[in-house]
Chains A and B, each alone.
Chain A
Amino acid sequence: MPYIYINIILAFVISLIGTLIYRSHLISSLLCLEGMILSLFTLNALLSLNINFALSTIVPLILLVFAACEAAVGLALLIIISNTYGLDYVQNLNLLQC
């Protein structure tokens, strides 16, 4: 397997771990989520260019569209949480409000 792919997959795994392990702020999880999406995008783009399969060049674009929606939803959730609590600390979320 070419080294470039392993490199990007490694970036993906690191971002994944960053999403799942975080200390107190929810926004750091969302940031690592964006990192995951970025690495996936780069992987897809390089793959379709190297294999010379022109029809799959649309896949990274669609991925971008859904990523944008997902980022918007994540930020909306963040805003609602900080409306009720004032901060986005994770330990607040067990109070079962709203």
Chain B
Amino acid sequence: TLTLTSLIILTLPITTTLLQNNKTNCFLYTTKTAVTYAFAISLIPTLLFVQSNQEAYISNWHWMTIYTLKLSLSFKLDFFSLTFMPIALFITWSIMEFSLWYMHSDPHINRFFKYLLLFLITMLILVSANNLLQLFMGWEGVGIMSFLLISWWHGRTDANTAALQAMLYNRIGDMGFIMMMAWFVIHLNSWEFQQIFLTNPKNTTLPLLGLLLASAGKSAQFGLHPWLPSAMEGPTPVSALLHSSTMVMAGVFTLIRFYPLMENNLTIQTLTLCLGAITTLFTAICALTQNDIKKIIALSTSSQLGLMMVTIGINQPHLAFIHMCTHAFFKAMLFLSSGSIIHNLNNEQDIRKMGGLYKTMPITSTAITIGSLALTGMPFLTGFYSKDPIIETANMSYINTWALLITLIAVSMTASYSTRIIFFALLGQPRYPSLTQINENNPYLVNPIKRLILGSIFMGFFISMNTIPHTTPQMTMPPHLKFMALAVTLLGFTVATELNNMTHNLMFKQPSRMHTFSTTLGYYPITTHRILPYLSLTMSQNLATTIMDSIWLEKMIPKNLTTMQKTAASLVSNQKGLMKLYFLSFLLSITLGLLIAL
């Protein structure tokens, strides 16, 4: 039963794409209802798993055997995939309903839904894969769909460059993924997870480095992060689906999948920890002074991803997974409500031009408030059940102190920028033109947000009550450590509100250095996006023209030889060039010699 139900889940959305009735309007509704039914059906295996704690592996179709490597279509239904699939389906259902309202006036809305559906299918393939080849197919699939969806409005150059950026940064990560696959197939002769975990090799640093690079590319860690804020060029449903809940989770998910190997390798754990800590601090700093609401939320996603990496780095993959699931809810909700604000203010994305929406858009403002509170880990909302255990475990484990401090600072900054969004978008006097009509009455807008609000409040409780903890958490700790997460969050809130209230009417003539650092995303995109192409282009120019043509063909032998000979000859010789005299003397001496001999 488990097998059949999970396969039906995967095929239900696929049948919708196969029908291909692009002209009719009911394609949208059939897609949405297909996803709804898929969500309902996917709850069945999940609940079965919750009741029996029995994992399942389905190995269906033997594709090919390359010498001794057997490749088949296999699905792994364990805690991670069974918990994540209903969540992904639920969020996709809400987003599809939302985009019925948001993309209503778009002539290619059928294609948009097809792309969203394809994305969902590839994400499910990625999540349920049991061997690395299938996971790689899902991985590439989500990369391609991300490219297509970010450049949805492809007439705009910024959208095209952002999509290209996403593709290139993902590709750099893919190099690591392929290296990992190659290592596994050479040393362990298999791409199946069971075999990899059973043999438990001792020298796994190299493939895990590849895995870390792949996750850094997919999940926008520091060094490969600029694509995520740029990816906000896509429509808001795309940002909500891809870049908040599902795609950027793919990297962290794969890292979580490999936790049996990472448990034994302390180097990789330290690397993950430091990378995650740097990411979370850096992106939180950048998010503090951005003015585009979607960029703030995107950088917030990146910061939370860094937090998940930190959790994996302290060897708590299950906590990271729970945080991933809960984060999906409130981040998608934040994106949807920002989409509602943007559309209602007539496509205004700058928070300096919003304000006073607290009274005019009550549902959206409650959504943002609840989402921000859940994000910062307010007690007993969703984020609390995942974020607080992370901070507690980090405080109590044998950890790099610097990484821990940075993570705590980033947590307080989370509160700061969330307060900033609320302050600028919702409170105060309106700063938008007064003729824009604000209307929240469409059920397609309101129902998804309401569902996600319910999810944000209750899901943390449900998930943590129904899962068996795989590692025992620390129960006793000194009170100052126990309250650390709450304390830094409250610190962030209060500092942000104070600063916002005090400086609301100030204007500086020239922004300070820290401010420009933060606004230009740490100068990172500006420098690297120019330096790398410049270096490779100058290197190729040097190789082609200078080295090949001018040095090797012209100067090396011909010109060098001529100059050398000329200087040598003019230095050495002291002739006067009297040719006839020399020849005559030669003739005379020859004849004299002959005469004497004869």
Contact = CB atoms under 8 A, between A and B. Distances in A.
Interface of A: 16-17, 19-22, 26, 29, 90, 93-96, 98
Contacts, number: 28
A28 to B, nearest CB: 12
A93 B579 contact: yes
B577 A20 contact: no
Interface stretch (B203-211, B228-236, B581-589): B581-589
Given A17-B587, A21-B587, A94 B580 contact: no
18 contacts: A16-B587, A17-B587, A20-B583, A21-B583, A21-B587, A22-B580, A26-B579, A90-B579, A90-B580, A93-B579, A94-B576, A94-B577, A94-B578, A95-B577, A96-B575, A96-B576, A96-B577, A98-B566
Contacts of B583: 19-22, 29
B303 to A, nearest CB: 73
Interface bin, chain B? 10 to 19
A94 B577 CA distance: 4
Contact of B586 (A20, A26, A90): A20
Contacts of A96: 575-577
Contacts of B566: 98
Contacts of A26: 579
A20 B584 contact: yes
Nearest to B586: A20
A88 to B, nearest CB: 11
A94 B581 CA distance: 11
Interface in B568-598: 575-580, 583-584, 586-587
Contacts of B575: 96
B576 A20 contact: no
Contacts of B577: 93-96
Interface string B183-199: 00000000000000000
B85 to A, nearest CB: 83
A5 to B, nearest CB: 17
Nearest to A24: B580
B493 to A, nearest CB: 86
Contacts of B587: 16-17, 20-21
A23 to B, nearest CB: 8
A14 to B, nearest CB: 12
Interface string B551-570: 00000000000000010000
B531 to A, nearest CB: 48
